[in-house]
């Protein structure tokens, strides 16, 4: 790559000082019209653009927001990024995305990479491994220095910073109620291990809905899946029991769609024999047969809010109170729970 043109080189070319060139290019009236125009023409011809690194160093401001997410091949997270991008761009910021791959080590690495001058602030969704081992030193190092930080979706209660979450409890509550409304008596929950914060919150909503209506909790109806193993074989167990469920709430789209397919393979009709709802953010639910009712998560809005919180914090020198925004969910009702088709 050819060396880029700099103020210094232009200055040498015209035998003037660097400051003269800088001022000339900014159209300063301190510089005579003749010199100004000659310098501008020259710079323009050689396509001069100020070096960003130098500017950022001088201004002590990068106008870049760092985002660290567990995965990028994930409809929900990419939707959130989209929301962040949109708000950030409009405010003159750019976005730098790094992936932790659910790994604690890589998360820490990304922290040290981004939080050392490269970005003005950080938006993070915590890696699974970090949630599991509960080591939060890298977060504490940031909050200690009041580094602008926003946590979203997978958050850590112990860390003091701005947060934005979806109403997981409420979403699961609504969904479970809806299943009962369409007649389901035995509702299975297909969820993740408890250390995944959203998983346990959704379980909470599920339990709350049941107890509110006086339905007794059956621990055997709660299935905790492990993403490292084969999903279908884990989900089959939901059906291969003496008294199988007539309703399913799955904490994500993949679980729900797999459950739907397996149920059909087992000869069950949906929603006649069993109604299914999944939390979602993707496109799968609309294309299954029947299409899946789902809890919509509004990732874009979440990204928007996270970016807004972060930029407010970056730009306000006076310390603000830490906010926790809760994004409410809504039920998108499709045929997998349609009332008309109920058997009982």
Partner DNA sequence: AAATGTTACGCAAACGTTTTCGTGTTTATA
Partner DNA sequence: TATAAACACGAAAACGTTTGCGTAACATTT
- Please report, as ranges, the residues that interact with DNA according to CB under 7 A: 3-4, 6-8, 15-20, 22-23, 25-26, 29-33, 35-36, 48-51, 54-55, 57-58, 60
* 233 versus 344: smaller Cβ distance to a copy of itself: 233
Taking CB under 8 A as the criterion, the residue among 41, 72, 320, 339 binding a copy of itself is 72
* Choices 21-29, 98-106, 123-131, 202-210 (CB under 8 A): range interacting with a copy of itself: 98-106
Note if the bond before 131 is cis, omega within 30 degrees: no
Smallest separation (angstroms) from DNA to the CB of 153: 33
* Residue 131 binds to a copy of itself (criterion: CB under 8 A): no
Phi-psi region of 134 (alpha: psi -120 to 50; beta: other; left: phi over 0): left
Selection from DNA, a copy of itself, none that 17 binds (CB < 5 to 8 A by kind) is DNA
* 143 versus 200: smaller Cβ distance to a copy of itself: 143
DSSP annotation of 335 reads: G
Selection from DNA, a copy of itself, none that 85 binds (CB < 5 to 8 A by kind) is a copy of itself
Selection from DNA, a copy of itself, none that 282 binds (CB < 5 to 8 A by kind) is a copy of itself
For residues 157 and 135, give the distance between their C-alpha atoms in angstroms, rounded to a whole number. 13
* 72 versus 217: smaller Cβ distance to a copy of itself: 72
* Choices 35-43, 54-62, 190-198, 223-231 (CB under 8 A): range interacting with a copy of itself: 54-62
Residue whose entry in the numeric block shows the structure tokens 């909050």: 143
* Choices 154-162, 180-188, 257-265, 272-280 (CB under 8 A): range interacting with a copy of itself: 257-265
* Choices 21-29, 115-123, 209-217, 304-312 (CB under 8 A): range interacting with a copy of itself: 115-123
* 3 versus 242: smaller Cβ distance to DNA: 3
Residue whose entry in the numeric block shows the structure tokens 């709430």: 249
Within 13 Å of residue 318, how many CA atoms lie on the same side as its CB? 2
For residues 54 and 77, give the distance between their C-alpha atoms in angstroms, rounded to a whole number. 32
φ, ψ of residue 65 in degrees (nearest 5): -110, 130
Taking CB under 8 A as the criterion, the residue among 75, 91, 266, 332 binding a copy of itself is 75
**CB atoms closer than 10 angstroms to residue 31:** 21
φ, ψ of residue 268 in degrees (nearest 5): -85, 145
What contacts 173, CB < 8 A, 6 or more positions away?
A: 205, 206, 208, 209
* Residue 8 binds to a copy of itself (criterion: CB under 8 A): no
Strands of 293-296's sheet in order across: 222-224, 187-191, 247-250, 275-280, 293-296, 330-332
For residues 164 and 154, give the distance between their C-alpha atoms in angstroms, rounded to a whole number. 9
For residues 215 and 61, give the distance between their C-alpha atoms in angstroms, rounded to a whole number. 56
Contact 185, 246 (CB under 8 A): yes
Q: Where does this chain bind a copy of itself (CB under 8 A)?
A: 1-2, 4, 47, 49-54, 56-57, 62, 72-75, 78-79, 81-82, 85, 89, 94-99, 106, 112-113, 116-118, 141, 145-148, 254, 257, 260-261, 264, 282-284, 287-289
């Amino acid at each position: 790559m050819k060396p880029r043109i700099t103020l210094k080189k232009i200055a040498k070319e015209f035998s003037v000082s660097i400051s003269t060139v800088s001022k000339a290019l900014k159209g300063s009236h301190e510089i005579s019209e003749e010199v100004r125009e000659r310098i501008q023409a020259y710079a323009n011809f050689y396509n001069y653009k100020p070096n960003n690194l130098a500017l950022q160093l001088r201004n002590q401001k990068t106008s870049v927001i760092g985002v660290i997410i567990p995965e990028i091949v994930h409809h929900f997270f990419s939707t959130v990024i989209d929301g962040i991008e949109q708000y950030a761009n409009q405010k003159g910021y750019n976005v730098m995305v790094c992936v932790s791959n659910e790994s604690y080590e890589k998360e820490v690495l990304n922290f040290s990479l981004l939080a050392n001058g490269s970005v003005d602030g950080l938006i993070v969704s915590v890696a699974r491994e970090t949630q599991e081992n509960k080591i939060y030193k890298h977060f504490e190092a940031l909050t200690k220095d009041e580094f602008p930080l926003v946590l979203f979706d997978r958050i850590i209660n112990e860390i003091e910073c701005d947060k934005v979450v979806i109403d997981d409890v409420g979403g699961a509550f609504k969904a479970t109620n809806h299943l009962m409304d369409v007649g389901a008596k035995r509702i299975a929950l297909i969820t993740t291990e408890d250390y995944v914060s959203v998983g346990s919150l959704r379980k909470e909503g599920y339990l709350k809905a049941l107890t509110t209506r006086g339905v007794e909790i059956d621990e055997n109806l709660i299935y905790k899946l492990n993403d490292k193993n084969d999903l279908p074989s884990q989900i089959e167990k939901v059906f291969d029991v003496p008294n199988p469920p007539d309703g399913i709430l799955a904490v994500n789209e993949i679980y729900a769609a797999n459950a739907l397919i397996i149920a059909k393979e087992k000869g069950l009709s949906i929603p006649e024999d069993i109604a299914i709802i999944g939390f979602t953010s993707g496109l799968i639910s609309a294309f299954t047969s029947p299409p899946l009712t789902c809890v919509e998560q509004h990732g874009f809005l979440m990204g928007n809010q996270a970016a807004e919180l972060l930029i407010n914090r970056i730009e306000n020198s006076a310390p603000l109170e830490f906010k926790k925004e809760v994004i409410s969910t809504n039920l998108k009702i499709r045929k997998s729970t349609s009332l008309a088709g109920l058997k009982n």
